[in-house]
Structure 1
Amino acid sequence: MAEVSKRLQHFGESVIRRMTRVAQTYGAINLSQGFPDFDPPQQLLESLHRVSYEGPHQYAITWGAPNFREALARKQSRFMNLPIDPEKNIVVTCGSTEAMMVAMMTICDPGDKVIVFSPFYENYVADTILTGAEPIYVPLRPPTYNFDEAELRRAFEQKPKALILCNPANPSGKVFSLEELQLIAKFAEEFDTFVITDEVYEHIVYGPYVHTYFASLPGMFQRTLSCSSLSKTYSITGWRLGYVIAPPHLIDGARKIHDFLTVGAAAPLQEAAVTALNFPDDYYQDLTLQYQEKRDTFLQYLNALGLNYTNPQGAYYVMVDITPFGYQDDNRFCEWMAQEIGVAAVPGSSFFREPIHQWIRLNFAKRKETLDAAGRRLLRLKEFG
């Protein structure tokens, strides 16, 4: 019998999604996969209820329903401080996962090189494999997760077609400083490189840190494909509404790729989500405060445990050092912790190109009751450390 594609040899199943199944197997509190355990805003639920009866229920325009793109353009123009044209600068996708793949396929040919910061969200490497590109890894070294300028320049000297920038970063919670972004922009200009941004945590940033949209830097809009989604901002990870924002010459190609990948995102969900895109600025300020409270609640338990961790600057993950427990294999530790402690995490090695096995990632996008329950279970780790 003929063999399956050779590209399947280069990546396995998602470790994050596997750990959700492990959590279900052992009845553990799932702090692995990054989704909330609370409902979306009430206004959004009411909008969904209305749309479920009134429609639309058939295909929207493949690159996004006009009213959705118009609302998205207004919102992102405000936050990105850029004039976003809903007809020329947007393609709506099935989540940011598709947005990233569309961006990669729009600009990369087989054999092209792509810079990826390590640690990275696991999909990025799969994206390079599926597009036939070759990743160039640049380390972000814990606990600060800063990069070395000389190492980044050497990566650019290999003439990459693109750099992938996750900001705020998953899994590290790093928010790239303006100075770091300006350096990346300088190299992108010097070496004529595209930048693909993943900015799904754009509204979850903790003071004094500030999120800067890479496309808003001088001269960068023309070489940037900005990818994001509504999943994290409005607590609707299951709705799968994402988008790419880019200049017209890139969006024209992205729309072709998207059309033949998925045809289009769900029409009724786009209609319902217009309500959220029209929320006032107060919503985003409150969102940050809510997540800061969740972060502070959860970190109190880590402090009580005496474990080292990286204080998140943005997003809703914390990387925790498990060195005191003596495990050489973070996968085995996470399996053990799910079974014996009742809390599921993601082994950090799934995010690193380097042979690093001392970190696990925990997600605090949960109700206070969930965080307190998980925290009490985690305190049992004192018996083993």
Structure 2
Amino acid sequence: MSLRVSRRRPLVAQSEIRNMSIECAKVGGINLAQGVCDLPVPESVIRGAEEAMRRGSNIYTRFDGRVELRRAIAARQLRDTGLDADPEGQVVVSAGATGAFYSACLALLDEGDEVMVFEPYYGYHIVTLASLGIKPVFVTLAPPNWEFAAADLERAVTPRTRAIILNTPSNPAGKVFSREELSLVADFAQAHDLFVFTDEIYENFVFDGLAHIAPATLPGMARRTITISGLSKVFAITGWRIGYAICDPEWALAIGHFSDLVYVCAPAPLQLGAARGLEELGPDYYQGVAKDHQRKRDLFCATLRDIGLTPHVPAGAYYTLADISTLPGDTAKARAMHLLERTGVACVPGSAFYQGDTGETLARFCFAKEMKILEDAMRRLRTLPS
């Protein structure tokens, strides 16, 4: 037998987000494609990591992470969402929220299972499932409010369905699921005995007086919910890879063992830096983050509206999907490339977030940039001919 790559290799290609980032770098443009938050890293987080390194906290951690971080995560979740978790058996620190998600899939799902996914979706969820031989089944959210009904869920479920993914606030649509919508999902999950895998990485980026609700806090959802989040976005430490899962101890042990197998551990001193941030930064910090990004959202969406690229104004996260159908090109990728060539501003083709052709008229822009960079991007976009 000749040497070859695995059969799963074609499933894992470079994402369109990174492709557009590369194209942006070629022209020296402004990258509104990749979701990198330009917040300064809080001083307490840096200081905590530095002190940990200097005092020798540089070796492997326990399979579920440093106790200081697990305790800080549990305390913060209880304070902010009401989710009550035991840091000694229900919190697993992993290599980012993506690492926690991958480990949870390895621990709780089997090849041939089906998982329901709302679209527009985050591509990593889909590729992760596909690479493990798990079939994503799509439930399309209806704009402008990204709505769904119980009937949509019932049409998608089959005897092979094992779980549903719930990304709130969502990437790329910025949807913040309401309590009523979460209750609908909870009732459905209980009726069909499904896991609910959440992705709550943008939980601190919620606007217009709305509140993030942790699905695990709904009645009957504690055992079946795998709460996944992290500190990458809110502390602007995407390269540190600090994420976690919170769930029932039975699931947490399995997730922790797979996380240990794949990643060994998230970097020990960086865990301690994140713990310091959680311990020392109070509600004012998180409120400031939300307020800052709401202001940027409003300015950026106004610019898109003014130049004829009608935005879907997000309720959370830090992206906006915009209608780019007026730009030249037959596909979202062609239109995104036209925009980059004409303005030097990179976005992500909407086709990266849909299974069919629904996304061909859309593009995703990230507005989590330093104000001077965002202002430059808005100035460039306004040079588009009307």
Alignment correspondent of 1:218: 219
Question: What is the Cα deviation at residue 41 of structure 1?
Answer: 1.4
Alignment correspondent of 2:128: 127
Give CA deviations for 1:147-192 in whole Å, capped at 9, x if unaligned: 2321211223445100011100000011111111111100100000
SS at match of 1:6: coil
Residue pair 1:337, 1:344 contacting (<8 A) in 2 also: yes
Match of 1:334 among 329, 333, 336: 336
Question: What is the Cα deviation at residue 80 of structure 1?
Answer: 2.5
Measured in 1, the distance between the counterparts of 2:216 and 2:113 equals 22
Give CA deviations for 1:245-300 in whole Å, capped at 9, x if unaligned: 00101101111111111111100101111111112122211111111111122123
Measured in 1, the distance between the counterparts of 2:45 and 2:23 equals 31
Measured in 2, the distance between the counterparts of 1:133 and 1:159 equals 10
SS at match of 2:382: helix
Match of 2:320 among 315, 318, 321: 318
The count of residues paired between Structure 1 and Structure 2 equals: 383
Moved more, 132-141 or 50-59: 50-59
Q: Which amino acid in structure 2 is aligned with residue 63 of structure 1? A: D
Residue pair 2:89, 2:249 contacting (<8 A) in 1 also: yes
1:46 aligns with 2:39: no
Gaps of 5+ in 2: none
Alignment correspondent of 1:103: 104
Residue pair 2:53, 2:269 contacting (<8 A) in 1 also: yes
Measured in 1, the distance between the counterparts of 2:81 and 2:38 equals 29
Moved more, 140-149 or 243-252: 140-149
Measured in 1, the distance between the counterparts of 2:47 and 2:266 equals 20
Give CA deviations for 1:116-149 in whole Å, capped at 9, x if unaligned: 1111000111111122111111111222211232
Residue pair 2:50, 2:269 contacting (<8 A) in 1 also: no
Question: What is the Cα deviation at residue 12 of structure 1?
Answer: 2.2
Measured in 2, the distance between the counterparts of 1:107 and 1:86 equals 21
The percentage of aligned residue pairs carrying the same residue is: 38
Alignment correspondent of 1:305: 307
SS at match of 1:220: coil
Measured in 2, the distance between the counterparts of 1:82 and 1:176 equals 17
CA RMSD of aligned residues (A): 1.4
Q: Which amino acid in structure 2 is aligned with residue 191 of structure 1? A: H
Measured in 1, the distance between the counterparts of 2:307 and 2:336 equals 17
| Structure 1 moving runs of 4+ over 6 Å | none
TM-score between the two structures when normalised by the length of structure 2: 0.96
Alignment correspondent of 1:139: 140
1:366 aligns with 2:352: no
Question: What is the Cα deviation at residue 216 of structure 1?
Answer: 0.5
1:235 aligns with 2:236: yes
1:182-221 matches, within 5 Å, as 182-221=183-222
TM-score between the two structures when normalised by the length of structure 1: 0.96
Residue pair 2:119, 2:353 contacting (<8 A) in 1 also: yes
Alignment correspondent of 1:291: 293
SS at match of 2:223: helix
Measured in 2, the distance between the counterparts of 1:171 and 1:72 equals 25
1:32 aligns with 2:71: no
Gaps of 5+ in 1: none
Measured in 1, the distance between the counterparts of 2:22 and 2:38 equals 16
Question: What is the Cα deviation at residue 359 of structure 1?
Answer: 0.4
Measured in 2, the distance between the counterparts of 1:28 and 1:190 equals 50
Label 1:101 to 1:300 Cα distance change in 2 as closer, same or farther (>3 A): same
